[in-house]
Structure 1
Amino acid sequence: MEFSLLGPIAVTTGSAELSLGPAKRRSVLALLLLQPNTTVPLEQLIDSLWEEEPPEHARTVVQGHVSRLRATLAEGGAEAYGIELATHGSAYLLRLPEELIDAHRFGELVALARPEAAPVDAVPLLREALGLWRGPALTGTVTSPPFAAAAHALEERRLTAVEALGRAHGALGEHEQAAAILYSAAVNHPLREGLIAGLMRALFHTGRQSDALEWFHRTRRLLNEELGVDPGERLRGAYEDILRAEAAGGGRTGAARPAGGAGGPSGGTSSGGSRSGASGDGSSATGTGARPVDGATRAPVQGSADRDEARGDADTPDTDGTRQGTPAGGRGGSGSGRTGAPPRLLPRPPARFLGREDQLAALTTVLTDGTTGESPLAVVAGPAGVGKTACAVQWAHLYAGSFPDGQLFADLRGFGEGDEAPPAEILGDFLLALGTPPERVPSSAQAASALFRSLVAERRLLVVLDNARSSAQVRPLLPGGPHCATVVTSRSRLDGLVATDWARPVGLQTLGHEEGAALLGAMLGPDRVAEDPAAARELVDLCDGLPLALRAAAAQLTARPRWRLARLAAALRDERRRLALLSAEDTGIAAALRMSVARLSADDARLLSALATSADGHLNASLAAALAGYDPERTQDGLDRLTEMHLVDEEATDVYTISTLTQLFARDERGEGGESDTGGTGDGS
């Protein structure tokens, strides 16, 4: 059930809208919604409903409207939503979760947006907030002064959000968008000086200096004719800045942008989130002492007020000295602050985890580096079955104490059965885990990503994103706060994240003989391995040193306690049976490889099959081209993609190897290798 104040007064449940009756009944509901969870005296309702002297039977009329509203809400299932319209003596109380009121959600989204400090996040937040409006506020209520004043206050907050959206686009250098957004609002509110000033700056940056100056002179005339006043400081400041910039040769080139403007072309920030604000000293690039042309005088200080804003539990000062907060009667909390226990979404620690000291140390170096002022990001990459998930989860458990505000985990299903997980789905889970009420989780991935970054901006949080297919799948899920850290696992190198988000790669290789035998010993008991060390070494070779394959082999031996290691090694020498034996119920090396090959193009899959016919798994580009029947350029491009996916290794320049297990899988045209369908990859993917 949702209540609408930002447009016609309405109550919807599911896809149906409840019938609310005449204007006075809608007005009673509106006044109660403007003061939710607060007792509203009967006399206040009467004074608001009748502009003239109320009739003698006014009390009876109001009581009748309340009674009908109570019945209508009950018919719509109000109790299931925690909604109650109660009578307290000669007053009424509408008890409900405030998140069900569109005006409350609007206020929270606006409060989370930081146009100058984080414009990349502010744009979707503000767009979603403004998207809640369906027309003039409180449409359908009586035309009395109290309702006119309430509608005017809501409209002021809408215009403040429009101005903030214009500033956010301006901070990103998107001045055309800023001008388009501000223009229609300026036409409808020609005396709102802050709005006109923002439009002037946006027009100037698009090269329309004459239009910008014309808006100033038009507004100056209107102010003088209608109000008898001169332009205020904001409007004069925009005018003077444009004149200075023109004299200095500024304009569309952006020479008059504030130094270090947040998120702009000179801000030095990536598309993943802006951390830098304006210069803070009030100077512009046009010369010392001039105000910045795009109106961002300084970025908010990254202190307690910023942290409160990120949590949505504080009013936020706007640049004109007003304050944006929750609607009248709101409680002031976003419902998604640090209430309750921090989320602990990590899977259980991997069983019998051994070794990987170098990789764990590398993760520690990357993820605990606090010197950059950025959110550290590591990519654990390697072939299917090498234990990427286990390594990432092990590190996350070891260092969970360094992230007291929680640990988030998500399987992105990049190399699993079915479709990969869409970012909106993962972000929804994260926001719920962080305490966001379900009805306040944005439906669009862009808005959900912005809300997620805003909520965690000042937290010490660890995010583990497992089984990613591409950099594009990961980017919306990255936190932006400098105290957050992210670990991504993938079979792909995710070079895009390295390029755009300064991700640090942590490569995972197969196990050597000693490490592989130690894993078998941990699974089977050291005595069973010690009685035949040669067979243990052979098992490591037959499993290509892959932890997933070795664990499957250990499962076979655990189920057959009388078997010696040599017996299983003899069985695995039969290449027709090897892949089938290296599977255990819902996990296995063939299933893992199947998911990798399924993500290849048809050309690359054919190239992999051709490489599998190599006698010893060692070849160069010329031999690969001959085997596949491709031209050299096509072959080299295919080898590069297979290497990126860790289906082929490039040991040295133009020296490629393909593992025995990958060869066995690729030789089978159907990709079965003697094994029935076994499903996903499990923790060893």
Structure 2
Amino acid sequence: MRRLREAAGLTQEELADLAGLSVRTIRDIELGRTARPYRRSLELIAQALGLNAEGAARLVRTRKARGAEIAEAGAAPTADDGPRAAQLPPVTGDLIGREDLIAAYERYLSLPGAAVGPRAPLLITGPAGVGKSMLATRLAHGVAHLYPDGQLFTDLHGHDAVEPLDPASVLRGFLCSLGVSPSNLPGSLSGLTALYRSLLADRRVLILIDNARATEQVRPLLPNSPGSAVLVTSRAQLRGLLIRDGAQLLETPYLSEPAATALLEEVIGPRRLRAEPAAGRELIRLCGGLPLALRVLAERAAQRPGLLLRDLVEELTRPGFPLDALDVPDDPASTLRTVLSWSYRALPPRAARLFRLLGLHEGPDIRLDAVARLTAAGSGSASLNRLAAELSVLVDAHLLESPAPGRYRFHLLVRLYAAERAAEEESTRAGGIAYAAPRFAGQDEARHRLDGKPRGAQPPARTREWYGEHDNALRLTCSSGGPGRSTGAY
């Protein structure tokens, strides 16, 4: 191949650019480091060199002859020539409010692979319904042309209605897609991983791994080639992937108010939004920038022109089960309650109960010591440390946020779901709040929470702390008052 390249007057860099391959791929083929080049790569090289059909066929035959030598030496079975895998799911709709993210990470995925070792995977995380899978799919389609050896896709069902996939099952599917006969598949996970990485060693393949629950699901699916790229989506943080595999983290944010407004305008039209501006803003606030919730409500309004936006606001704020407004009867995967239930069911039992108990709290956020009182966890340092670790499980699962050390809060819609779980699985909600209220900051100080100032002269830090709790105390006291609950209100 080097003689052909030099006869064409091309450098390795120029040939790589014309063929859409990496310089390393060209160099390794010429030096014999690539034992059996991928057929598609040789076809691209032949096209870039301007070879006729006979010359191109000769170049491919050289590859086959080299493959026979490897087989005689007892090497592992390699992929037969076959169709290039193109498994990416379709892109559905525009990703409003994600334009900057898409541009930045398309640039990242377009960069040349590392000189030594594999490219770091891109880990896309975020809460349920924020649009991780759509973002990853859009990114993958945007750079697919840079990976001429194919695109592989799997849904690991980490948070889903079905059991999570194990990596061995995924690898068998990938290897068959790469042309390996099922009869040649190794029996062990380590053997499957080794063959998979050997086949991808000199290829440029894009791999999209959706809906992972744990690092152990993902790690065997990572190639060892610098020319390939991996995108992973997960509701979990997958800290092992960040620490040991150097993953690049993309935390998918909630939509900003302008982006949420643009989404509503796209679905229901700007005229309808202008007719009810206050209701539109309240709808956006109640959805908290969650794209799934906004789109479900907007599609309902679009399908029913007589449905007012303020009617949707009323549904989301009525007592009982406001999440019913976000049901999609013919598609459970688009129903927010169902989507959240998959994250909830994946929690360990202690974290699941903590999630339910936090659903009893009425305030906008809550401190660690208040969580300890709400859950009767104890106030000692060891107890608080254990409780903080359990809260971290909820934060890592994107079911809870921690805006500052020692402080926690729910997304509004997630809190509604937690309250539903508490009502069904815990003792009465009223009893839980009555228990929490007098213990909120200590018996002898609780009755002074709503005076308008802390009791006595206080240092500035204490005053700021008190004002930070005022909203919580007000909501908690209002909720705990009333017939049958007067003992909890001051």
Contact 1:345 1:409 in 2 (8 A): yes
Question: What SS class does the counterpart of residue 408 from structure 2 fall into?
Answer: strand
Aligned CA distance change for structure 1 residues 366 and 652 (closer, same or farther; 3 Å): farther
Output the CA distance in 2 between the equivalents of 1:526 and 1:434.
Answer: 48
Secondary structure at 2:402 match in 1: strand
SS in 1 for 2:421: coil
Counterpart of 2:394 in structure 1 is 642
Structure 2 CA distance for partners of 1:428 and 1:620, relative to 1, 3 Å: same
Distance across 2 between alignment mates of 1:334 and 1:311: 14
Change (3 A) 1:588 1:516: same
Query: 1:627 Cα shift?
Result: 1.2
Q: 2:373 aligns with which of 622, 626, 646?
A: 626
Query: Cα offset for 1:523?
Result: 2.2
Q: Secondary structure at the match of 1:415?
A: coil
- Specify which of 503, 511, 514 is matched with residue 255 of structure 2: 511
| Alpha-carbon contact 2:113-2:227 (below 8 Å) kept | no
Partner residue, 2:34 = 307
Structure of larger gyration radius: 1
Q: Which of 182, 190, 206 is the equivalent residue of 1:462?
A: 206
Residue of structure 2 in register with 1:348 after alignment: 90
Alignment partner, residue 483 of structure 1:
227
- Supply the AA of the counterpart residue of 2:106: T
Rate the CA distance shift 1:566–1:395 in 2: closer, same or farther, 3 A.
same
Give the match for residue 419 of structure 2: 667
Shift of the 371–476 alpha-carbon distance from structure 1 to 2, 3 Å rule, reads: closer
Distance 2:91 2:262 in 1: 18
- Looking at structure 2, the residues matched to 452 and 375 of structure 1 have their Cα atoms a distance apart, in angstroms, of 16
The reply to whether residue 591 of structure 1 matches residue 335 of structure 2 is no
8 A contact 2:321–2:420 mirrored in 1: no
Q: Is the 8 A contact 1:367 1:377 kept in 2?
A: no
Contact 1:449 1:476 in 2 (8 A): yes
Q: CA separation of 1:593/1:303 partners in 2, compared to 1, >3 Å: closer, same or farther?
A: same
- In structure 1, the partner of 2:56 is none
- Residue deviations 1:346-366 (CA, integer Å, cap 9, x gap): 111022321212322342344
Q: 1:455 to 1:582 in 2, by over 3 A?
A: same
**When you count helix as a share of all residues, which structure comes out higher?**
2
The aligned counterpart of 1:409 is 153
How is 1:513-532 mapped onto 2 (pairs within 5 angstroms)?
A: 513-532=257-276
TM-superposed CA distance for 1:611, in Å, is 1.5
**Equivalent residue letter for 1:654:** G
Is 1:336 matched with 2:63?
Answer: no
* Partner in structure 1 of residue 110 of structure 2: 368
2:237 equivalent to 1:493: yes
Q: Which residue of 1 aligns with 2:403?
A: 651
Instruction: Check 1:452–1:310 CA distance in 2 against 1; reply closer, same or farther (3 A cut).
Output: farther
Measured after TM superposition, the shift of residue 563 of structure 1 is 1.1
Following TM superposition, by how much is the alpha carbon of 1:654 offset from its aligned partner in structure 2, in angstroms? Answer: 1.8
Change (3 A) 1:503 1:601: same
Does the 8 Å CA contact 1:665/1:672 hold for their aligned counterparts? Answer: no
> Residues 545 and 417 (structure 1 numbering): CA distance in 2 closer, same or farther, change over 3 Å?
same
Aligned pairs, number: 365
* C-alpha displacement of 1:669: 3.1
The superposition leaves residues 319-374 of structure 1 with CA deviations (integer Å, 9 ceiling, x where unpaired) of: xxxx953249x9x995615x344211111102232121232234234433326333
**1:533 positional shift:** 2.7
Q: Is the 8 A contact 1:310 1:457 kept in 2?
A: no
Contact kept, 8 Å, 2:215 with 2:241, in 1: the verdict is: yes
Mapped to 2, the partners of 1:547 and 1:647 lie a distance apart of 16
8 A Cα contact 1:379 1:488, kept in partner:
yes
Does structure 1 residue 359 correspond to structure 2 residue 104? no
Query: Equivalent residue for 1:608?
Result: 355
Shift of residue 672 of structure 1? 7.8
Distance 1:402 1:530 in 2: 43
RMSD (CA atoms): 2.7
Give runs of aligned pairs for residues 254-403 of structure 1, distance below 5 A.
Answer: 302-304=28-30, 305-309=32-36, 325-327=70-72, 336-337=79-80, 339-370=81-112, 372-373=114-115, 374-403=118-147
Structure 1 unaligned regions, length at least 5: 1-300, 318-322, 674-685
Change (3 A) 1:375 1:343: same
Give the structure, 1 or 2, with the largest relative contact order (CA under 8 Å, sep 6 or more): 2
Q: Go from structure 1 to structure 2 and tell me whether the alpha carbon gap of 1:603 and 1:327 turns closer, same or farther (over 3 Å shift).
A: same
* Aligned counterparts of 1:559 and 1:572: Cα–Cα separation in 2: 18
Match of 2:46 in 1: none
What is the distance in 1 between the residues matched to 2:224 and 2:270? Answer: 46
Q: Which amino acid aligns with 2:120?
A: P
Q: Is the 8 A contact 1:352 1:522 kept in 2?
A: no
**1:17-28 equivalent positions in 2, closer than 5 A:** none
Cα 1:522–1:442 change in 2 (3 A) is farther
Q: Give the letter aligned to residue 306 of structure 1.
A: R
TM-score (norm 1): 0.50
